[in-house]
Structure 1
Amino acid sequence: MLPSLSLYSYIQKLRFVSRVRRFLCSRSSRKRFRLPSDPSDIPRPKVREIEQSIIRKYDQAVLQRTVKSLHFGDGDEKERAAKEIERFIKESAKVRKLIVDLGVIPALVAMADSDPLAVRALIQLANHTYLNKTLMVEEGILTKLPNNPQFTKMDSSSHEFPELLLSLSCLANTQLFLASTEPVISYLLTILNNSESNPKTKMFCLATLFNISTVLENAETLISNGVVPTLLRFSSIKEFSEKALPTLANLAVTSKGKQALESNSTFPEILIEILTWEEKPNCQELSVYIIMILAHQSWAQRERLAKSSVIVPALLGLALLGSPLAQKRALKLLQWFKEERQAKVGVHSGPQIAGIVEVGSGFSEKEIEKGKRMMRSLVKQSLYKNMEIITRRANGGECLSPRIRRTLVCSTSSKSLPF
């Protein structure tokens, strides 16, 4: 019995030793030969490279499938493809050139009149790329989209296409854009005159009109489409004034634009009212600039402006409290209105004077002298009164009072001049 027991224990020991050896061998082999599939055994740069390679292959496959759907898919597939293209461009600017090389711009332009997703993709493609904008214009986006009535309805609640037009309007001085300017202007005015259009859409339209107005060849087209009354209306709204006034200033330097402004009965009241907007210094500068253009070498327009009893007080306030540029322009206008609007002004310093009383006009020298003394007295009284009101405004005590503001605007007649 004893030998058998010792043999059994010996066998058990051998089994234990063999298990330990197998365990140690397996552990050492794992240290020497790790499986490459274990991510912890691969260096981090290598992991990133593998991941990026997988992502690139996946993105390329998705991009190829997206472009294929855009060219050959049905309506729903094309919409999804346009959305995917917008996402690709937002995530990586490097994809933009590849997508353009695959011919997506003609396909997106063909969809743009009925699919706002296509317009969004075109906006992303047009950003910071002159070539892509040129390709879109060559594909006829300017002549096709504005004439579609669906866009008028769509842009009442969205701003995709006006935003795209604003991006494309940097080509306003090119022959491609000039050939299609009239339908674009008509479309923009339709949106601006639509009461349902949102403010952001109107901002895009006004900014696009400004870019178009920077090219003098477009002035006649803008005026013939009736842009001046629309711009005057938006100039009187503080929210849009800074966008509308620069376009008016560009048009005012042309003969057609000056005639269109002069023939409008509301322009003096609107421009003079803007002179009192203390919180809008840029608008004040542009308004007084337009008034200077209209009054320069035009006795009829200076007479028309002088009939408004508020222009001199408004110019006085601007000359004292406005920005340096506005002050300079206001003082120049006040010089043009001095001495009963009959002072002789040089060719390069202001308007030419007409209508001077001739000898033998029926007034004796005594009557003329008496009238001059009376006028000087009225001018002094008006000047003292205006200076007192403006000084109170400058001191801040009563500058916000509506009564003071009305008094400043209405206190003087057209002949109560400061000089």
Structure 2
Amino acid sequence: MLEELKQVVKRLQYDDVVGGAKDVRRLAKEDSGARCTLALLGAIPPLVAVLDSGDLDLRINGLYALLNLCIGNDTNKAAIVKAGAVHKMLDLIKCDEVDGEPNPDVCAAVIANFLGLTALDSNKPIIGSSGAINFLVKFLVKMFKNSVKGEVNSQVIQDCLRALYNLSLLPSNVLPMIEIDEFVPFLMATLGDMEVSDRILSILSNVVSTPEGRKAVSGVHDSFQILVDVLNWSDSPACQEQATYILMVMAHKSYRDRVVMIESGVTSSLLELTLLGSTLAQKRASRILEILSVDKGKQVSETFVGSLGANVSAPLCGSVDSRSLRSTDPTKDPDDDNMISDESKAVKNLVQQSLHSNMRRIAKRANLPQDFVPSEHFRSLTSMSTSKSLPF
């Protein structure tokens, strides 16, 4: 076997480049040992070099030979990128255009390579800064536009989405993604296509890990309504879990986003998830409800305090207790503190009653007993937590 591999690399380097590339492609496809040995014998540099060839068939065989060499082999993935393959692959896209359109076979091979190469963490920043993100996004959007005409390769679309997901795992790659104006709106608009929604939500989960990404998502028209709709996909628990993660991160980070979520009717969908969702979706939905209920309580309390007039104001510094307020403000009615306390209790009761009412409605939908009473777990959703951690 070793002698055969030596002969393959020799042909690749000297007298029969086409035959050598085809043999590497064939031998490396199923044999992990052959991948290691071929790379050690020096197969990678000549394969990268053939990407500059004027022979289209040779270039495609070279691309798939490189792809097979990097299957499950991180050393080869790093070596291929180090040899300059990424920029050569991007150049191939441009040079193989026909009437302004890239060759679909070349694109499919390049995207498959990007998928394999981006699985290695050390390759992510190199590929992310090479221009590959722009190519992947533009190609993906175009593929979906062509799908209306029936011209679509579902495998290439999946490879493209998975490569973008790999790249989005590195926060520094998120910015060049969202700087492409059509990217985030495209992702949001494509949610609902069940063949790709899981992948799209995975990418969005990484996008919202950055402030710029969260701003881009919240800036899309009806973005929260779209995500709330995903919460109702009872036949797709994985999508529900990812949608709750996205909403949880955004609710945790932005008061304005929390307001828009409430206006989008997220509460009832979250309550339903706390009863009928997967364990992970239940935990995340509970966390979001906890965050939203704190805001709701604050809003009502602030409205009430504001109605008391100028006699109630924020301290200039430090903390002031009720006794000092009474001693320094002779015009203040001593019953005001009791009123605020009563109002706080009233707010908590209103929120709790709303939760109970919604959960009874959901219980009825789920064919649970009519005397169903929410457990202490659900009552705790109305508690005022100051935690800012995202444990899930």
Matches within 5 A, 1:291-306: 291-296=247-252, 298-306=254-262
Q: 1:186 aligns with which of 121, 131, 134?
A: 134
8 Å Cα contact 2:348/2:382 also seen in 1: no
Matches within 5 A, 1:28-47: none
In 2, the alpha carbon distance for the partners of 1:56 and 1:332 equals 58
Q: 1:324 aligns with which of 257, 266, 279?
A: 279
Considering only aligned residues, what root-mean-square deviation do their CA atoms show, in Å? 3.9
CA deviation after TM superposition for structure 1 residue 70, in Å: 3.0
| 1:130 and 2:74 are equivalent in the alignment | yes
1:313 maps to what in 2?
268
CA deviation after TM superposition for structure 1 residue 303, in Å: 1.7
8 Å Cα contact 1:172/1:178 also seen in 2: no
CA deviation after TM superposition for structure 1 residue 277, in Å: 1.0
In structure 2, relative to structure 1, the CA distance for the partners of 1:122 and 1:91 (3 Å cut) is same
Q: 1:106 aligns with which of 28, 45, 67?
A: 45
Q: 1:146 aligns with which of 90, 96, 121?
A: 90
In 2, the alpha carbon distance for the partners of 1:356 and 1:297 equals 26
In 1, the alpha carbon distance for the partners of 2:22 and 2:304 equals 71
In 2, the alpha carbon distance for the partners of 1:373 and 1:238 equals 44
SS at match of 2:306: coil
SS at match of 1:128: coil
Matches within 5 A, 1:8-407: 59=4, 64=7, 66-73=8-15, 78-90=17-29, 92-112=31-51, 114=56, 115-147=59-91, 148-149=93-94, 150=96, 153-155=102-104, 159-174=108-123, 177-178=125-126, 181-193=129-141, 194-195=143-144, 196-226=151-181, 227-296=183-252, 298-308=254-264, 310-338=265-293, 341-343=296-298, 358-360=306-308, 384=357, 386-395=358-367
SS at match of 1:103: coil
In structure 2, relative to structure 1, the CA distance for the partners of 1:340 and 1:91 (3 Å cut) is closer
In structure 2, relative to structure 1, the CA distance for the partners of 1:128 and 1:344 (3 Å cut) is same
CA deviation after TM superposition for structure 1 residue 268, in Å: 0.6
- Per the normalisation by structure 2, the TM-score is 0.69
CA deviation after TM superposition for structure 1 residue 92, in Å: 4.5
In 1, the alpha carbon distance for the partners of 2:137 and 2:305 equals 47
Q: One-letter code of the match for 1:96? A: R
Cα deviation code 1:92-132 (max 9, x no counterpart): 54433443344332222233474222111111111222222
8 Å Cα contact 1:70/1:104 also seen in 2: yes
5+ residue gaps, structure 1: 1-54, 346-352, 397-416
8 Å Cα contact 1:67/1:104 also seen in 2: yes
CA deviation after TM superposition for structure 1 residue 80, in Å: 3.3
Cα deviation code 1:253-307 (max 9, x no counterpart): 2211122122222311221011011122122122112112212253322221222
CA deviation after TM superposition for structure 1 residue 134, in Å: 1.6
In 1, the alpha carbon distance for the partners of 2:302 and 2:155 equals 47
1:412 maps to what in 2?
none
- Per the normalisation by structure 1, the TM-score is 0.65
8 Å Cα contact 1:119/1:161 also seen in 2: yes
CA deviation after TM superposition for structure 1 residue 182, in Å: 4.5
In 2, the alpha carbon distance for the partners of 1:200 and 1:301 equals 35
8 Å Cα contact 1:210/1:246 also seen in 2: yes
SS at match of 2:186: helix
5+ residue gaps, structure 2: 145-150, 311-335, 369-380, 384-392
In 1, the alpha carbon distance for the partners of 2:351 and 2:31 equals 72
CA deviation after TM superposition for structure 1 residue 248, in Å: 1.5
8 Å Cα contact 2:274/2:282 also seen in 1: yes
In structure 2, relative to structure 1, the CA distance for the partners of 1:86 and 1:376 (3 Å cut) is same
In structure 2, relative to structure 1, the CA distance for the partners of 1:158 and 1:373 (3 Å cut) is same
Q: One-letter code of the match for 1:287? A: A
1:400 maps to what in 2?
none
8 Å Cα contact 2:297/2:347 also seen in 1: no
8 Å Cα contact 2:197/2:239 also seen in 1: yes
Q: How many residues align?
A: 324
2:323 maps to what in 1?
none
Q: One-letter code of the match for 1:246? A: S
8 Å Cα contact 2:171/2:209 also seen in 1: no
